[in-house]
Structure 1
């Protein structure tokens, strides 16, 4: 099993003057700890579950580009980009640029968007849910076309591109991995089965995660997609200590947790650390990542 971390809070001591130094150290520490991936939210305002709208929030793709320059191996992705934030042709060009400059380490994490407050605050159009999902499918179709170097005119339900030129092409082969975030059984998981290389599900009780993966497998079966091709990722909280006290987990407890996820086919557990700006948060991660790498997910 692979482990990754998500950075979701940038309100750190000494910010904003210290923000670049702190984020660089987090990226380097994550890579040196043996983690497989580094993720940032793609929001413009902080979201309610993590703080107040006024708290510091970095633009996601710029932050990942900065992290790419500080690292060499760790994979980089947004968890996840709202489809409404950028024109799809520009978004795919942005993801391609990150992939090229990082040497093939980019994910395109994407979803239908939900934070109406930041849309209204910054004047970004916020269409109804049905249209947002239609725009998401347009963007997924376009990504596959542009990453095949197909420059023919594109016509979707909401977007028309005369010549979707995308040079240079990505370094990743066949293309940067597309990860769709969300757990909606009728639309989101169907889009995963049809277009994506990875899904992301919130870390709930294991039976609830398995139920979502079972729905995904049903969509794969109906579409003729190989379910095993899709990387199954989860997003959960991470706090680790030798004792496992004060709401943290010991390495042994965490490995039991990841083992139970692997038993239902989860390949990649992404952790949102409580204090990623504190170097102590990374002390046990090298041991944890090395041990987790020996866990073989079901179906692999």
Structure 2
């Protein structure tokens, strides 16, 4: 099992009170945290894609990833998840190919149709209904794959038209960086994942996710793609301390993660190392191979250190 760590791009009270000790984010916080995470032996760094999501500053995801590529050496770099509505697919393909070179072939590309309407509209973007955003995202994935492998690319879609586009320099990874599709929509998102994705990522309670996996399997059968070849990935925030008393103390700072405050289909990693490991084991048994965690005590590393020391080794 692989463990990636989320590097937040925003903080403050309006970011759903998920970061207990970070009221305003800075690049130095992100960089130093990433370097510490690499030293702790995690597998990857995940960076969300927002432009206005917290009460304070919000850092841009693609440039943050480029900076982290220079600050780290081995971790895979994981935009999780690019909001397609904010990006021009062909230009994104060029930028990501270059980022794969900058990082020495460490890029893993997460793609999604976005969900935060208010930030898009604040910056002047259109916000069509979800089906249209998802059809556009699918074209972006197709365009990326074509440009990552082609030198004279034509494409005639509803959203993009290419006429002899040259995708070079192609990514370091052959044939291209792995693609993650994020989201749980059963009619569109999971169909796109079945057709195009190397990884599928979502969050939430395991019972709900088992239902999503059944739908993903059905879409794979429709496209004659291999369900088992798609990596299953889960995102959760993590509240971890050595003792139950210390966990309770941390929950006082982030009461949003108390069980009585969670939605019915929501679940996060909350507890001592043994309790957290037991929850992860349930997800592993269900077929999940990657866990992306966000530690609520960012930019501190107490949670990350304890996880790396006492949880991750149980899944080597």
Larger helix proportion of the pair: 2
Counterparts of 1:113-124 in structure 2, within 5 Å, are 113-124=114-125
Change (3 A) 1:33 1:124: same
1:41 to 48, 70, 74: 48
User: How far 1:2 sits from its partner (Å)?
Assistant: 1.1
TM-score with structure 1 setting the length = 0.89
Change (3 A) 1:13 1:229: closer
1:253 to 272, 275, 293: 275
Change (3 A) 1:236 1:273: same
**Paired residue total:** 285
Structure 1 equivalent of residue 78 of structure 2: 77
User: How far 1:82 sits from its partner (Å)?
Assistant: 1.1
User: How far 1:33 sits from its partner (Å)?
Assistant: 1.4
TM-score with structure 2 setting the length = 0.85
Higher alpha-carbon deviation: 275-284 or 36-45: 275-284
Q: How many angstroms apart in 1 are the aligned matches of 2:223 and 2:118?
A: 36
For structure 2, the residue ranges without an aligned partner over 5 or more in a row are 12-20, 252-269
Q: How many angstroms apart in 2 are the aligned matches of 1:289 and 1:177?
A: 26
Q: How many angstroms apart in 1 are the aligned matches of 2:193 and 2:139?
A: 14
- Corresponding position: 1:265 with 2:266: no
Tell me, what secondary structure is at the counterpart of 2:234?
strand
Structure 1 equivalent of residue 167 of structure 2: 166
Structure 2 equivalent of residue 285 of structure 1: 307
CA displacement, residues 253-295 of structure 1 (integer Å, 9 cap, x when unaligned): 111111100101000011111022013232213224642432x
User: How far 1:232 sits from its partner (Å)?
Assistant: 0.6
Q: Tell me, yes or no, if the aligned pair for 1:3 and 1:289 is still in contact at 8 Å.
A: no
Q: Tell me, yes or no, if the aligned pair for 2:121 and 2:127 is still in contact at 8 Å.
A: yes
Q: Tell me, yes or no, if the aligned pair for 1:2 and 1:292 is still in contact at 8 Å.
A: no
Please give the root-mean-square deviation of Cα atoms over the aligned residues, in Å: 1.8
User: How far 1:138 sits from its partner (Å)?
Assistant: 0.8
Q: Tell me, yes or no, if the aligned pair for 1:5 and 1:272 is still in contact at 8 Å.
A: yes
Tell me, what secondary structure is at the counterpart of 2:86?
coil
Q: How many angstroms apart in 2 are the aligned matches of 1:15 and 1:116?
A: 22
Q: How many angstroms apart in 2 are the aligned matches of 1:95 and 1:288?
A: 35
